[in-house]
Chains A and B, each alone.
Chain A
């Protein structure tokens, strides 16, 4: 498959958008500006970007607790995300959700999720609604390798297959569920082989190679969009930091520095950036400019979040039910 240069540049841009966000909020979290708990996706940027570049604004997305990257790749804006992280009224969920519970239905983000595996069965049903209404949308559902061991994973994939629902399930395999490594969690090499049990395509791909993710997702998304049913893609990647921001020793209790460093070597952004510069597709200077623009946008987002008010006291009682008069 030939990927045009414009798309490659967009890939880099989108990954930088996520990386810049994650690094900035990590700083803000440690400085005490962001309350609650927060799961960073630094190092995993190629997955949301490679997948979401195949999506339309009207397509649906469901995600996990580690969802900032997915929301950004689907078109989420810094300022509303930042305001949500700060617990402000102007955030995507009015401050009700925070890091683990982002949603922006206008761009198809039906929700990240504090419950591991919580989105998988829901995605099957969202897919069904698309098919039922004879629309041509697609649903993508991101979750971790840990989530692939929930009962919900098996029920959700099977039902999606039975329904022939247009859903692309993405396992973002970063090798750990908090401290528990793959070898204590499952007995397979490729999690994608589980797709065979539901008679849907299952592919494992280098999740730090954004072009490989893009191409694999393209096949699955097009197949789903044209009525071919669901697929499962496993993207092999790694989270650079602790399970959550502020985890003791930043993940070193159960992982070695050598392991972390070896994955940093395989940084998806560095990889694409070097390839694009070597191929004269972008210049060093243009990349710097992109990075600076994201930094400026982040400063504006922080300013917006800081100046925004907290929700009114009555907000506690709002949205529990829809008022039907």
Chain B
């Protein structure tokens, strides 16, 4: 099958949806001529014009807030905030408005809006451009949180997100944006709350998200040679979370590592660990281990950043401990 990058898969989905539904439009900083900081919207302005692919002022509160307003008015906004690090500046719009309008007003109105954000540490961008705190959004009732890993998942899940009647936080990890994978040319959707077993195994389950899925798959391959059979489960959406697929895997293997780039404390890895402990602890043969970023901001200096970013090394250490 044809191979395209994660970035191209998203671009394809945006094009498809804009061609097929006039209500869909995009706005954000530098998404027009520049095609977005990571190239996801490249070329869209040429096809759809500046009336539907809108470069905004540098005004995050208005970008999200007016996006919500446009959704209330009947449109389907796909809004981009360049880095997750800039969402705290407009958190009120996300947490108090976008997430709550449907509930608070007794179900009368809806906010069918997609908020695309980029996360992850890479390339020495230091404390304010390297974060992965989407667990904040999982912690907020009313939001769907989507964390695709592969180009295939990216396209299918963005299609589902744009079609969804609910507000969606769509998380794109820097380290996966340029990775290629098989993507069908035709259109398709992937339901929310549907985890994907990215690799079958018998001895250990690694539940991983985004860039850490690739790391887990590489480490699993290495470990296969040493006789450890690892299953890699990718939740793909954190809210709703497909508990059953995770539980089924843990019931089979009896061991669990949860790997997510967010800071370990109070992150999604903690939530998944807690669910397993609460509901199927009798299947565990060893304590659960969480792998993630340390409880520090991301430092600039290359060796420190390297130590900060969780990856293969941290997974290997966790496996050595758990087996």
Contacts and interface: CB of A to CB of B under 8 A. Distances in A.
A213 B249 CA distance: 67
Contacts of A184: 55-57
A114 B127 contact: yes
Contact of A100 (B33, B126, B301): B126
Interface stretch (B164-172, B254-262, B303-311): B303-311
Contacts, number: 134
B204 to A, nearest CB: 28
Given A97-B126, A101-B127, A151-B61, A316 B55 contact: no
Interface in B13-61: 29-30, 32-34, 55-61
Nearest to A87: B301
B79 to A, nearest CB: 15
B196 interface: no
Contacts of A87: 124, 300-304
Interface residues of A, number: 41
Given A35-B124, A114-B85, A114-B127, A96 B300 contact: yes
Nearest to B124: A36
B34 A114 contact: no
A149 B62 CA distance: 10
Contact of A35 (B32, B56, B302): B302
Contacts of B302: 35, 87, 310
B296 interface: yes
A310 B301 contact: yes
- The SS class assigned to the B binding surface is loop
Given A97-B126, A149-B58, A151-B61, A178 B301 contact: no
A313 B124 contact: no
Given A89-B301, A93-B300, 15 more contacts: A100-B125, A101-B126, A101-B300, A114-B129, A118-B128, A147-B58, A149-B58, A178-B29, A184-B55, A184-B57, A185-B57, A185-B58, A254-B34, A311-B303, A313-B304
Interface of B: 29-30, 32-34, 55-62, 85-86, 89, 123-129, 294-297, 299-304, 307-308
26 contacts: A35-B124, A36-B124, A37-B123, A37-B125, A87-B301, A87-B304, A96-B126, A96-B299, A98-B301, A101-B127, A113-B128, A116-B58, A118-B128, A151-B60, A151-B61, A179-B30, A254-B33, A254-B34, A310-B301, A310-B303, A313-B303, A316-B296, A316-B299, A317-B294, A317-B296, A320-B296
